Structure 1
């Protein structure tokens, strides 16, 4: 069964197929941007395409992978295979025992 060409306006993303509508939703979510620990050592950049880059100290790309946000809950899948999660509470990201603030 073939879908209309407009429906096939999908892009390959994270090993899955996301429609343009789903991609727009990811782009518009309120948590996209930079999240940083108080001392600046850990930095999570949540990119609008559902990918993240984590910097640690002087290592700018210590970890990279994909993420999904459901309401105030975030799940991470690192490209090396490990997973993690966190919660956004009152505008603060609580992740793996760390607290990250919006920059």
Structure 2
């Protein structure tokens, strides 16, 4: 049997398996609630600062963060993601960090933050 005959036979077989054409049903997605933030995201959003005020972090609803060290004049930006009580940070230079949100305290490494 030649390869063209095999391909033709497979095409006829596959066409017999194809579903019968049916009407298309629109998707039932509520776009107003598709971007709604969950309780963990809502708890994370806002301005956070260390107890001594040496570091300030602004977590924004769009997944972006701004970090500032006022005494050193340093500012960093990046993005973050929330997975239940864990926050994953990625800075503009590629550094990454893991944060944990527990009882109103955000812990990133050895630093502890409270809402400002």
Q: Match for 1:81 among 85, 91, 94?
A: 94
CA–CA distance in structure 2, aligned partners of residues 51 and 96 of structure 1? 19
Residue 53 of structure 1 pairs with residue 72 of structure 2: no
Of Structure 1 and Structure 2, which has the larger fraction of its residues in helix?
2
TM-score, length of structure 2 as denominator length: 0.64
- Decide which structure has greater strand share: 1
Gap runs ≥5 in structure 2: 1-25
Alignment of 1:29-68 (within 5 A): 29-58=42-71, 59=73, 62-68=75-81
Which of the two has higher C-alpha Rg? 2
Match of 2:36 in 1: 24
Q: Distance in 1 between matches of 2:96 and 2:54?
A: 20
| Moved segments of 4+, more than 6 Å | none
Instruction: Report the 3-state secondary structure (helix = DSSP H, G, I; strand = E; otherwise coil) of the residue aligned with 2:77.
Output: strand
CA shift at 1:92, angstroms? 0.2
Structure 1: unaligned runs, 5 residues or longer = 10-19
Length, aligned pairs only: 88
Q: Distance in 1 between matches of 2:56 and 2:82?
A: 18
Paired with 1:48 and 1:56, the residues of 2 have a C-alpha distance of 21
